[in-house]
Amino acid sequence: MKIALIGATGFVGSHILKEALSRGHEITAVVRKPGEVGTFNEQLHIVQGDVFNTKELSDIFKGHDIVISAYNVKNTDNDYHQRFLSGSESIQEAAKLAGVKRLIVSGGAGSLEIKPGLQLVDSSEFPEEYKPIARAARDYFTELEKEQELDWTFVSPAIEMHPGIKTGRTGKYRTGYNQPVFDEHRRSRISPEDLAVAIIDEVENHQFPRKRFTIAY
């Protein structure tokens, strides 16, 4: 497939890029600083773009089969919440203007329900420093659920996903919907490599149209 990828130099996006290329997909990586991609492949096209310029973005997206957004902004930005929402909404609108029907968003785990009526981000155990990120992703997911024109999918990782998870790429994971997936030790974990596997699996298999799904080991 021909995929437009936002966030190809980020923590999650770089793994999505590697996984997609390994399966033979043609990728247009839309980045702010093309020199930071650091990957060379005949199936990879690197394009400089600004997510806040919706018209420019739509021109880049034209002719693609799917848009994958691993968009994020720095947590230190004072206007983080609004910048995240504005950027995400611009990507969504650009896909529609370009006539691209499918959008996959790599989101957060904060909006997963750990008990009826209580989302992870609102629990006392959720680290304060990550709440701005999680709340922004949660609020965007709420907006995305209203989308009627695009065939969208929102992917929430496990509760634990960080560089310290050393499993690498196993190609194995379990899926859920709105509640975290736990293992026998009551842990919800996934590596960024296997999150990328799940996202490209969804590109190819299209199992979760207009749904959110989550994954963990």
Q: Report pLDDT digits (tens) over 155-185.
A: 999 999 988 888 999 999 999 999 999 999 9
- Phi (first) and psi of residue 62, to 5 degrees: -55, 135
Q: What is the pLDDT of residue 163?
A: 81
Q: Using CA atoms of 84, 126, 117, 90 in order, give the dihedral in degrees to the nearest 10.
A: 10
Task: Read off the pLDDT band of 107 (50, 70, 90).
Answer: very high
Classify domain 2-216 at the CATH topology level. Rossmann fold (3.40.50)
- Kindly report, residue by residue over 9-54, the tens digit of the pLDDT: 999 999 999 999 999 999 999 999 998 898 889 999 999 999 999 9
Mean pLDDT of 102-126: 96
CA distance 9 to 46: 11
Mean pLDDT of 183-195: 96
Task: Read off the pLDDT band of 77 (50, 70, 90).
Answer: low
Asked whether the predicted pLDDT for residue 59 surpasses 80, the reply is: yes
Q: Where are the domains of the chain?
A: 2-216
At 103, the amino acid letter reads L
Query: Minimal CA–CA distance to 68: which of 32, 107, 103?
Result: 103
Q: What is the pLDDT of residue 70?
A: 98
Instruction: Answer whether 48's CB lies under 8 Å from 56's CB.
Output: no
Asked whether the predicted pLDDT for residue 116 surpasses 70, the reply is: yes
